[in-house]
Amino acid sequence: MVILTTLKAEDGFSARRNHQNIRCALGIETLFRELKSFMSVEPFHSHLVDGCEQEVAAALIWMALGSTIQAEAESTIGVKRVYEQIAYEPPAIC
């Protein structure tokens, strides 16, 4: 991947830090895309920021609950039977 940026090392932005920032931003964008497409979060029902935050939080809780139930079910049968897993793992450097 090629990344072009106007952030300079002279301004305190090292290449490693730029890479970390972009990686974190891409992770956030990927998670939001998952929320929009699989959880139908957008368009929001609320027109207030608090309401939109509540909808996103509810969707994240629902995803966490689903993942927990899936993990428990797979541990009891001893065989992984899920063909597609939708999960977000934040980068370790964020």
- What's this model's pTM, rounded to 2 decimal places? 0.48
Q: Tell whether the model's pLDDT for residue 15 goes beyond 60.
A: yes
- % of residues, the chain, pLDDT over 70: 78
Tens-digit pLDDT profile for residues 25-66: 888 888 778 777 776 766 778 889 998 889 888 888 888 888
| Alpha-carbon distances, residue 27 vs 17, 58, 66 (angstroms) | 15, 19, 20
- How far CA 32 is from CA of 8, 20, 72, 77, in Å, comes to 29, 19, 26, 32
Which residue is it, tokens 């608090």?
50
Residue 24 has pLDDT above 60, yes or no: yes
pLDDT band, very low/low/confident/very high, at 20 (cuts 50, 70, 90): confident
pLDDT > 70? residue 90? no
For position 41, what pLDDT does the model report? 66
CA angle 21, 67, 78 (to 5 degrees): 125
